[in-house]
Structure 1
Amino acid sequence: MNVGKLLPNDYIADRWTYQSREAVTRLENVVVDYTPGTPYLYGSTFYYDGGWSGRSTIDTHYDVRNRNACNDLQPEDYDDMSDSEGSRYNEYTWTSGGQQITRWYTDVRGSRYDYSTSYSSRNDRCQIRLRTRDIVEQREYRQVNTPVYEQQQVFSHYDYKPVTFNVSGLKAGGSTWNGSVDLPVGNEGLDTGVSWDGCIEERQTVRTTSFSPIPVAAYDLDIDRMPTTGDPATQWGPLLETAVWGRYDNYGNRTSGTVSTSNNLSRNFSYTCANEARKLQRWDTPSDFDAYLDDLDAIGSTYHDIGLIWGARLLSPTGIFASENAASDTGGAIDRHLIFMTDGDTVTSSTQYTSYGVEWYDRRRTSANSAPSTSDLTTQVNSRFLAMCNAIKNKNITLWVVSFGNGVSAGSITNLRNCATSGKFYNASNSAELLTNFRSIANDISQLRLTN
């Protein structure tokens, strides 16, 4: 039921238990820093940058006897690398053998001096010629850094199991709500935002097959009980889809036991949340009412009990909304009518996330010792539904029940007829009959008048 955001913050528990997961850690030596080592030159590579200059004569000698003597006057070629070393670049760090190695490069620019000779025997002249070219020395440096260890808890695996979380972060004060809460169910147990659409889990119930009378401890079936702040048995819990996982064992079978794995399991359940409910209100513009109805989606399974429970809570003059509807604006008494419409038989599923959790795993209203069957759940829903019908009628609320559609079983028709106030059950097999039924209900109700 999507009624959570209609409630004051105090009506929702601060802590709630979910079929979820908890990160398990182990103590390990973790590298928290590195002690820097001494940089050293690992190697150098020389390469030319650009072409040679033209040759030019830098010196001339005369009276040189022959070419060999001229060649003896030629200076040795050399590299002048006297420029400053440039800044480091292409820095890269990796680990090897537990140590951290950092590598980087620098450049030193210089010139290559290349000499040659030219000899003329006519006048015994020897010329010394020079050409130059820019050269770069690329120096590779390395530094080996020693790790500094510290003992820390690190992620080991998840335990998939029931976990109790603090969900009070949804509360924004008064009747204002946040749309999400941070819970430690993210990757490796990190906090992650878990959204809330307003659907809720019911408060405390009892496991029984007898609801005549309704058990005192079945707070979920108590129309008027006010929640007690700090007592989660009397409060409701937010239904949080992405905080929940169903569990399978190594053989692919569902299990209620703890499953330990470092993997992210599949959700293993289905989930739907109905459109947000509305409190009782006056609709002065028919088109607004039509627009609200048109936006309603028929999704999920068919649980007759929970819809009736919250219809009763919204309407009761002595319950949690009594301050808003106990009397008319002028203080007069109110004749109360509740119209319950369903489109078919009760349809349940043990693997659907409902107002009572994922019923295969939570087992809040069936035996704790065995998984519920569809028959178990359907019996529970029908029994609680009929108990709630009687509770509503005992509060002098006229209960109209409308069954819509073909194919509704005879047993369901009997339950729906028994639920209604005498003479207030309608069965419509098509839209035309449904409209006729609602016109009849409206005409009947319109004959009534408020009295002081």
Structure 2
Amino acid sequence: MLRVLKDCAGNVFPLAAVGLIVLAGMVGGGVDISRAYMAQNRLQNACDAGVLAGRKAVGSDGYDSDAEDQAEAFFATNFDAGEQGVTELTFETDSEDDGNTVEGTASANMSTAVMQLFGFESMPISVECSASMSIGNSDVMMVLDTTGSMDWDVSSYDRTSRIDALRDAMKSFYDTLSAAASGGNGRIRYGFVPYSSSVNVGQLLLDRDPSFLADNWTYQSREPQYRTVTHQVVSGYEAPYETTDTGYSDVDSSGWYYNSSDNYRKLSQCEDDLPPSTSWSNYGGTSTSTTTYIDSQQRRVTRTTTEQRQRSKDYTCYKNSGRYYIIYRNQERTFYDHEYSIEDPIFTTTTTSVFDHFAYKAVNYDTSTYKTFASTLTPTGDSGSNESSTWEGCIEERATVAENSFSFSKLLGITPAGANDLDIDSAPTGDADTKWGPMWDQISYYRTTSSGRYLTSASVSDYGRKAGAACPVAARLYAEMTESEFDAYADSLDPEGATYLDLGMIWGARLASPDGIFSSNVNDAPSNGGSVARHIIFMTDGQMDTSYTTHSTYGIEYHDRRVTDDGTSNQDGRHTSRFLAVCEAAKAKGIRIWVIAFTSALTSDLETCASPDSSFTASNAASLNEAFQSIGKVVGELRVTQ
């Protein structure tokens, strides 16, 4: 027995048994830790998805119960507790800054597969997550419908005016991006193109280069017509000759008075005692006066008048209560003695031009002063008088072609050729067709027949009417803005005019193009050195609705016929084709176009214009705000930050 105890050869087996137990614990722990690691990664992904969804759902009410429900739904979709083998799963979210940043925590207990043999039945896992808006560099060009219908109520149920709803949505959009940019080094700039039947870009063009604006432009206007009138004008007088005449003034009589209390039974008795009336006699001194005047025969007359007052007394019989009485009255008059010095006129024949009527026609005007915003006189006032007008800043487009259809391709650009108005990049040259003109609506008239009720296509008419016009608030190039600056601009928007969607897009694209005449502004590099995302937000409350008598950016279409062949036919359709071509040209620049149809249908044309997944319909003020917020979340680059 002692020999066996001293023999060590068999000790390897107990040691091996102990080693196997340790090895099993190590392998089992690794398996469970690996399972826990994978479950934790899955939990982190679900947590991230949840807070992202919750942040995207944040609206004007901040991080409310609806947004919280959205976060929980996305978390549940991305993490299956049974599949991951966990229990006691929790997911909680919160926001301490009214929804700008949504924070979340998720935790669970994972049942062990091997380690439970060693007394470890579960392993706790937990993660934290956060999603917020954090801005990079973005340029946002707002192309805004400010037509007359924007002054209407949103609907019969919502008495908010459409323009007020737009202002509020713009301000909320600014707040969203401002919060996203807070604390970061990203740059966000805003540009604006309000549009109706015209666009106000005159100051931008003048500042860029005064030669971009023409010094002469032809307008449908009116021109005074004059007739020659012959006059005999007095140029001097002959030597004077003298003449005289005399006369009396009208007689002034006093009332009748009783001569005495004596009375008579018979008229004959009274007449027998009647005193004789006195003759006229002078009393008082004379007075002399001299005056010079031009008589009806254009003679110059100098009259010297001497006046002498005269008086007399008149008697008669008067019957009163059956008795006759002698009564009298006093009379006065003035004796005039006139001496005349008369000079006959010497006539000279002259001719003058006097206003006769207006000729309503196309008139070429010098615009070199008007385009500088200086007051300018034109003979278009009443009876050809000079009237003063000052440019508001809206322009007429440069040369184009009246074609039915337009298109854009990266290879060919805009086709057909010759549509300089749709070229969003090229600068004017010495060619007049490449320049813009100031819209001079104060002198614009369309031609009518004599009744004034019907238009006439005649090149000249004696009859016409003032053309209507609308000039929106001035457009703005990209610039960083304070909240007060942004809000002030939004509040300045003024609804007026018809709906020319193409004008808004042409100039929105022109101001946003990195290759155009404002490229130095567009390509101004941010201080952080990062790239810039470019966006156009195009908002309208209606479809294309043009006018052929309004003075628009294309003149008065009925007479100018820059878009149509006959002044009226398919005008809306042709403008729509231009609109779609420019939309494609803008998107080819890498600009994302967002389209919002407010209180109107999202037409196929608007959907075609928009970039993919970038169009909205807003039926009321709340949905308009939601549309702007949805765009803001993309511009603001919603992301997981932890």
TM over 0.5: yes
Taking structure 2 as the reference length, what is the TM-score of the superposition? 0.54
Q: Could you tell me which residue of structure 2 aligns to residue 428 of structure 1?
A: 618
Choose which of 404, 407, 411 in structure 2 pairs with 1:212: 407
Q: Could you tell me which residue of structure 2 aligns to residue 292 of structure 1?
A: 489
Q: Is the 8 A contact 1:341 1:402 kept in 2?
A: yes
Q: CA distance change for structure 1 residues 270 and 37 in 2, over 3 Å: closer, same or farther?
A: same
Q: Report the secondary structure of 2:594's partner residue.
A: strand
Q: Could you tell me which residue of structure 1 aligns to residue 511 of structure 2?
A: 314
Q: In structure 2, what is the Cα distance between the partners aligned to 1:7 and 1:155? A: 38
Deviation at 1:329, TM superposition (A): 4.8
Q: CA distance change for structure 1 residues 93 and 303 in 2, over 3 Å: closer, same or farther?
A: farther
Deviation at 1:277, TM superposition (A): 2.3
Q: In structure 1, what is the Cα distance between the partners aligned to 2:520 and 2:342? A: 77
Deviation at 1:300, TM superposition (A): 1.4
Counterpart amino acid of residue 388 in structure 2: G
Deviation at 1:155, TM superposition (A): 3.5
Q: In structure 2, what is the Cα distance between the partners aligned to 1:193 and 1:79? A: 66
Q: Is the 8 A contact 1:112 1:135 kept in 2?
A: yes
Report which stretch shifted further, 193-202 or 381-390. 193-202
Choose which of 186, 192, 200 in structure 1 pairs with 2:387: 192
Choose which of 335, 355, 363 in structure 1 pairs with 2:553: 355
Match status 1:182 vs 2:377 = yes
Q: In structure 2, what is the Cα distance between the partners aligned to 1:308 and 1:441? A: 18
Q: Could you tell me which residue of structure 1 aligns to residue 585 of structure 2?
A: 391
Where structure 1 has 5 or more consecutive residues not aligned to the other structure, the ranges are: 51-75, 115-132
Counterpart amino acid of residue 351 in structure 1: T
Q: Could you tell me which residue of structure 2 aligns to residue 119 of structure 1?
A: none
Match status 1:21 vs 2:217 = no
Q: Is the 8 A contact 1:157 1:260 kept in 2?
A: no
Q: In structure 1, what is the Cα distance between the partners aligned to 2:608 and 2:231? A: 68
Counterpart amino acid of residue 442 in structure 2: T
Q: Is the 8 A contact 2:304 2:339 kept in 1?
A: yes
Q: Report the secondary structure of 2:507's partner residue.
A: helix
Q: In structure 2, what is the Cα distance between the partners aligned to 1:277 and 1:295? A: 11
Q: In structure 2, what is the Cα distance between the partners aligned to 1:336 and 1:378? A: 29
Structure-to-structure mapping, 1:65-76, within 5 angstroms: none
Where structure 2 has 5 or more consecutive residues not aligned to the other structure, the ranges are: 1-198, 253-279, 313-332, 409-413
Q: CA distance change for structure 1 residues 161 and 80 in 2, over 3 Å: closer, same or farther?
A: same
Q: Report the secondary structure of 1:210's partner residue.
A: coil
Taking structure 1 as the reference length, what is the TM-score of the superposition? 0.74
Structure-to-structure mapping, 1:222-237, within 5 angstroms: 222-228=423-429, 231-237=431-437
Q: In structure 1, what is the Cα distance between the partners aligned to 2:505 and 2:398? A: 15
Choose which of 464, 475, 484 in structure 2 pairs with 1:277: 475
Q: In structure 2, what is the Cα distance between the partners aligned to 1:164 and 1:93? A: 48
Q: Could you tell me which residue of structure 2 aligns to residue 239 of structure 1?
A: 439
Match status 1:203 vs 2:404 = no
Q: Which structure has the highest helix share of the two?
A: 2
Q: In structure 2, what is the Cα distance between the partners aligned to 1:32 and 1:220? A: 57
Deviation at 1:82, TM superposition (A): 8.2
Q: Report the secondary structure of 1:270's partner residue.
A: coil
Q: CA distance change for structure 1 residues 343 and 35 in 2, over 3 Å: closer, same or farther?
A: same
Deviation at 1:325, TM superposition (A): 2.7
Question: 1:61-103 CA deviation, whole Å, 9 max, x = no partner?
Answer: xxxxxxxxxxxxxxx97799987x54526x4666xxxx63556
Q: In structure 2, what is the Cα distance between the partners aligned to 1:146 and 1:328? A: 82
Q: Percent identity?
A: 37
Q: Could you tell me which residue of structure 2 aligns to residue 4 of structure 1?
A: 202
Q: In structure 2, what is the Cα distance between the partners aligned to 1:146 and 1:239? A: 53
Q: In structure 1, what is the Cα distance between the partners aligned to 2:457 and 2:244? A: 60
Deviation at 1:138, TM superposition (A): 6.3
Counterpart amino acid of residue 568 in structure 2: P
Q: CA RMSD in A?
A: 3.5
Deviation at 1:432, TM superposition (A): 1.0
Q: Report the secondary structure of 1:209's partner residue.
A: coil
Computing the radius of gyration from Cα coordinates, the structure with the larger value is 2
Choose which of 340, 357, 360 in structure 2 pairs with 1:160: 360
Q: Could you tell me which residue of structure 2 aligns to residue 371 of structure 1?
A: 567
Q: In structure 1, what is the Cα distance between the partners aligned to 2:302 and 2:395? A: 59
Q: In structure 2, what is the Cα distance between the partners aligned to 1:235 and 1:380? A: 22
Deviation at 1:298, TM superposition (A): 2.3
Q: Could you tell me which residue of structure 1 aligns to residue 544 of structure 2?
A: 346
Q: Is the 8 A contact 1:47 1:137 kept in 2?
A: no
Counterpart amino acid of residue 438 in structure 2: P
Q: Is the 8 A contact 2:371 2:391 kept in 1?
A: no
Deviation at 1:428, TM superposition (A): 1.2
Q: CA distance change for structure 1 residues 81 and 448 in 2, over 3 Å: closer, same or farther?
A: farther
Q: In structure 2, what is the Cα distance between the partners aligned to 1:32 and 1:258? A: 39
Q: In structure 2, what is the Cα distance between the partners aligned to 1:216 and 1:204? A: 11
Match status 1:266 vs 2:266 = no
